[in-house]
Amino acid sequence: MAAMGRAAARNEPGDLIPALMTIAKCCDTTSHRGLAAVQGILPGLAALALGPPACYPSACCRVFAFYAKAILHDLCSRTGATVIAAAFAPYLANAGSSLRAAARAFLSAPPLSVPDIVLDAIEHTARNASADAAALRAQVAELEAIPVNTRAAIVELAFAVRDT
């Protein structure tokens, strides 16, 4: 399912046909296992529903976006609108983005009808998470800048201090 989600996120039409067929099979079931499988692909469906602007001249991409929206609307009755809204978090976190406006419009419209306060909370959480991730990437880059020999010496020193 994760590979299908990545295919949907990349909007590769050839890879999306099996993904959409699998999603449709999972949507037909009301079992917890089927719904859990669908939750793993919600971010890919969100990406496909919004779609990159460069993709929309293609009729194929418009059809896939239509079906992704239909699947998300259908899943709303089974999983709840908030679960689906959480899949749109990366798009809500991009301030000033046209995708942010499209995501808010999609989530605010029926049948999802997610309240603005919930969208604001998801947006705030996603922005904090992306800021934390950026800080961690900076720390990793700083640590990777230390030469390998120096890192090895630091590790040896730490073991020596621990053993004493």
Lowest mean pLDDT among 19-28, 35-44, 76-85, 134-143: 19-28
pLDDT, one tens digit per residue, over 96-139 is 778 899 999 999 999 899 999 999 999 999 999 988 999 999 99
Amino acid identity of 14? G
DSSP H helical ranges for the chain: 2-10, 13-28, 32-39, 42-50, 59-79, 81-87, 89-92, 98-108, 116-144, 148-163
d(CA 39, CA 47): 14
Amino acid at 67: Y
Query: H or E segment at 58?
Result: none
Residue 45, token pair as written in the block: 């469906």
Both tokens of residue 132?
A: 């934390």
Whole-number pLDDT of residue 125: 94
When mean pLDDT is compared over 5-9, 20-24, 63-67, the highest value belongs to: 63-67
Residue 29 pLDDT > 70: no
Range name among 123-132, 136-145, 149-158 with the lowest pLDDT average: 149-158
pTM here is: 0.67
